Amino acid sequence: MPSVGALIGGSFLVALRAVSTPAVAVLIIVVGYGVMSFGLPLYLAAVSDVCPLRQTAGMLGVLTAVVGVGGMVGPYMTGLIVDAAPIPAEGYATAFQFVGVLAVVCAVAAILLANPERDKLRLT
């Protein structure tokens, strides 16, 4: 289940504020994002499995567009958070923690609400 990767990776990012050593903080960020990145191929496979053949290409396009928007909005939002922080390190920690909380909330929602078999039947 791809959402488990987002849950684990997001949890790492949420824990970032508890770390004061820069090297450990970098390790947590790398592991957190690394674990979350394992989910993308699984999301693509899930869309291909659940969607009817005639809708698969469109849904994969929507998924990759949403990921692309995150890549455009993320740096801008991070800049706003860093600029508003008293020191840049706190701003970056807040930005990474925000991403972690968002990932955890979305992962929990997906784990609780997603049902591939039900969705497949509904879409066909």
pLDDT at 8: 92
Domain count, the chain: 1
The domain in which residue 57 lies consists of: 2-123
pLDDT of residue 124: 72
Give Cα separations from 110 to 5, 46, 72, 80, 105 (angstroms): 12, 12, 24, 29, 9
Mind listing the pLDDT tens digit of every residue in the chain (124 residues)?
678 888 999 999 999 888 889 899 999 999 998 988 888 888 888 888 888 888 899 999 998 999 899 889 999 999 999 999 999 989 999 999 999 999 999 999 988 998 888 877 887 7
